[in-house]
Amino acid sequence: MDYKSAGVDIEAGYRSVELMKEHVRKTMRPEVLGGLGSFSGAFSLKNWKSMEKPVLLSGTDGVGTKLKLAFLMNRHDTIGIDCVAMCVNDVACAGGEPLFFLDYIACGKNDPEKIAQIVKGVSEGCCQAGAALIGGETAEMPGFYPEDEYDLAGFAVGIADEKDLIDGSTLIDGDVLIGIMSSGVHSNGFSLVRKIFDMTPESLGAFDGKLGMTLGEALLAPTKIYVAALRGVKESGVRIKACSHITGGGFYENIPRMLIEGTRAVIEKDSYEVPWLFRLMAEKGEVEEQMMYNTFNMGIGMVIAVSENDADRTIAALSASGERAVRVGRVISGEKGIDLIRAAEA
């Protein structure tokens, strides 16, 4: 009896590490100390000694049941981007610069090529965010996960000067809410998505002219990473007052999190065109509008609040970063919460 006969292939683990090294190497920053294989990742903070009051920010998350889609489509090279995005976007919307990332992969059977594809996506996400992939863990857990399935989670750490934190403390009546477009469903709501659509190769492989791609490709599109976009706004001289990453819970749960007591968000639902994918889900699944806005991002991946005088400059900075952004609403005085209205009701 040995470990391999119990279902854990140590040699496959070594092979996985060798295959992922080239992807990890692409994410390295000068501040990373040591190399792949240490018991812990080390990152120097000497370049931030000039900050008045340095604050570390952290975010952790997983990809959720979107993984089921990756299994069905046998596509594993972008799901890592989702994992990184879910963590670094949370750090960025608090005003932080992501510094480094760690991943955790748990699988039923270690398939080195598949693991390398997952890490390739993680590496791409880290490159987009400017974060170094300084460590991780691949756990082979036979009997706990099916052989062809895995789970993926991650953890990001960022830094900001305390004076630069985005906390909503300066929000006032009349501030403008700007929405930055999403790339699709991102990584939330897939338990409902999988009920709406037939999760079969035929259904997922069907080309949709309005989507311009197959349904599976549209659903699997990786979560957008907004780190560079928010940095561009800051570098334009605009002070972002508040920021919300639209994740699980959609508009109704996430936008109030950016507010302070005595302020309320008013979102105009017709300030932009909701992408076809969300309209298709609502129609096919007979999902009520409120539930759609309480589950999905509806085409807006992040909402930021700025002064009225900074609104046009903010949109210009986001456009220069390659993002499409629109005014979606405003801040008013009132009980902390959110109203979703049509422009005619304003």
Q: Note the pLDDT tens digit of each residue in 51-104.
A: 999 999 999 999 999 999 999 999 999 999 999 999 999 999 999 999 999 999
Residue 142 has pLDDT above 90, yes or no: yes
Percent of the chain with pLDDT over 90: 89
**What region does 266 belong to: left with phi over 0, alpha with psi -120 to 50, or beta?**
beta
* CA 58/CA 302 separation, integer angstroms: 18
pLDDT at 143 over 80: yes
pLDDT computed for residue 74 by the predictor? 95
- Round to whole Å and give the CA distance between 78 and 187: 12
The domains located in the chain, with CATH, are 10-164 (3.30.1330.10), 176-345 (3.90.650.10)
> Mean per-residue pLDDT for 241-245?
98
Measured distance CA(293)–CA(289) in Å, rounded: 6
Judged against a pLDDT cut of 80, whether residue 159 lies above it is answered with yes
Q: Dig out the tokens for 2 from the structure.
A: 């040995």
pLDDT of residue 137: 92
Task: Report d(CA 53, CA 140) in Å as an integer.
Answer: 42
Specify the pLDDT at position 12.
Answer: 73
Examine the pLDDT at 179 and tell me if it is beyond 90: yes
Instruction: Report whether 301 contacts 225 (CB < 8 A).
Output: no
Amino acid identity at 159: I
pLDDT bracket for residue 287 (50, 70, 90): very high
DSSP labels, 41-78: -EE--GGGTT-SSEEEEEEEEE-TTHHHHHHHHT--SS
Query: Is 154 in contact with 101 (CB distance < 8 Å)?
Result: yes
Q: Percent of the chain, pLDDT > 70?
A: 95
Question: Is the per-residue pLDDT at 120 higher than 90?
Answer: yes
pLDDT value of position 17: 77
Which value, in Å, is the radius of gyration of the alpha carbons in the chain? 21
pLDDT(342) > 90: no
Residue 326 and residue 346: Cα distance in Å, rounded?
17
Question: Three-state SS for 300?
Answer: strand
Confidence (pLDDT) at 19: 78
User: CA quadruple 189, 191, 197, 203: dihedral positive or negative?
Assistant: positive
346 has a pLDDT exceeding 60: no
Q: How close are the terminal C-alpha atoms of the chain, in Å?
A: 72
**Exposed/middle/buried for 252, CB within 10 Å: 0-12, 13-18, 19+?**
middle
pLDDT exceeds cutoff 90 at 109: yes
Structure confidence at residue 344 (pLDDT):
61
Structure tokens at 276: 């076809």
pLDDT (tens digit, 9 = 90+) per residue, 2-55? 556 666 667 777 677 787 888 888 999 999 998 777 788 899 999 999 999 999
121 contacts 24 by C-beta, under 8 angstroms: no
**Distance of alpha carbon 256 from alpha carbon 245, whole angstroms:** 11
Q: What pLDDT was estimated at residue 18? A: 81
- With a cut of 70, say whether residue 224 has pLDDT above it: yes
Closest C-alpha to 85, from 265, 291, 228, 231: 228
